[in-house]
A = this chain, B = another copy of it.
Amino acid sequence: MIKIVVDLLGADKPQTELVLGAIRAISENKDLYVYLMGRKAELEDFLANVTYDESQLEIVDCTQEITNYDDPVDAYHDKTDSSLIKGLKMCRMNEDIGGFVTCGATGVVLISSILILGKLNATRPALSVVLNGRNDKPFCIVDCGANIDCKADRFVDFARLGVAYMKTLGIENPTVATLSNGIEAGKGSDVIKEAHELLEKCGFNFTGNIEGKEVLDGNADVVVCDGFAGNVLLKSIEGTAKVVFDDIRRAAAGASDTQKAQLEAFIGRLEPKFDYNNEGGAILLGVKKPVVKGHGAATDKTVYNTVKIAYGLAKNNLVEKISEEFEKK
């Protein structure tokens, strides 16, 4: 059994909507067990009218909720009966729990995960997102928002985390590239130039610099960058795709219903793949259990996807794979 803790509070949508994502995930994966962190009485009432296998879940009552207005450190100390803190502590204390899923406030998730679960191999944990590029080829961006001002050696840790992550997706010898403002080795900030030199010596399948325009072409499996550049990259991909799709629909505003339906058939399926919030979430790599963070505007579909990601990471031994990468140091 793969056991995953699912935090159902702290997102924009009510727990009774989000829980349906978890129910769908367990119904599709018979070896998945979920601990649902939320308000027990309300969840029990709601689930009384839903069909699911009772042997695959347990509701854990939480009397507190963490919001975006909570200070991360205060929340960690004071809201010990919140779904987020209580859930992370359950993860820490039970060796057989494989991971944690939340749509809570990013800052609180980052800090509480580090404080409660602890760092793996003394690295600083990084946020990573897997996107599907051209021809649906997956690639990951590390870091995309946790570590803003980074020294060069941090990028080597990001590469190790990303390589381990891509290995859980079945990519055997992932290529690694540094995000930069030109593909030539001499391009980049001082830190990127230094990171480039370090990465060349570390035994990675390192392919050099990658530019923003090639990232989606899938020219590298792991794109390493600081959390500032990674965030700019991730969000501009998301924002650009959104504007392109919106503009296309506007261009077709005067078309017939048949033509519009046809257009939707061409573009409708593509749209979600450029929005990582729809597809899943960011993974906090480098803590002792996989933590998957969905967006605050998450729906039951987000919870379904994030639970599946956490399940996959636990099943494919992310934490062991990360340790292996760090042992090569």
Contact = CB atoms under 8 A, between A and B. Distances in A.
B247 A134 contact: yes
Interface in A191-241: 192, 211-217, 225-229, 231-241
Interface in A145-175: 145, 148-149
Given A181-B145, A231-B181, A267 B239 contact: no
A122 interface: no
A252 interface: yes
B216 A181 contact: no
Contact of A239 (B212, B231, B234, B266): B212
Contacts of A73: none
B270 A266 contact: no
B239 A217 contact: yes
A217 B233 CA distance: 16
Interface string A242-283: 111111100110010001001101110110001000000000
A119 to B, nearest CB: 22
Nearest to A148: B189
A312 interface: no
Contacts of A270: 244, 247-248, 251
B251 A267 contact: yes
A188 B239 contact: no
Contacts of A233: 212, 232, 236
Chain A interface secondary structure, helix, strand, loop or mixed?
helix
Nearest to A244: B244
A320 B269 CA distance: 50
B251 A266 contact: yes
A216 B240 contact: yes
A72 interface: no
Contacts of A245: 244
Contact of A133 (B148, B179, B243): B243
A235 B248 contact: no
A42 interface: no
A190 interface: yes
Given A248-B266, A248-B270, A262-B259, A179 B214 contact: no
A132 to B, nearest CB: 10
Given A245-B244, A251-B267, A252-B266, A213 B189 contact: no
A229 to B, nearest CB: 5
A240 B251 contact: no
Given A133-B243, A246-B134, A149 B216 contact: no
B251 A239 contact: no
27 contacts: A133-B243, A148-B181, A148-B188, A149-B189, A149-B190, A182-B231, A189-B226, A211-B235, A213-B235, A213-B236, A213-B239, A214-B239, A217-B243, A228-B229, A229-B229, A232-B233, A236-B236, A236-B237, A240-B244, A241-B244, A244-B270, A248-B270, A251-B270, A252-B266, A255-B262, A262-B263, A263-B266
Given A192-B228, A248-B266, 10 more contacts: A181-B232, A212-B234, A212-B235, A212-B236, A213-B236, A216-B239, A216-B240, A240-B274, A251-B265, A255-B262
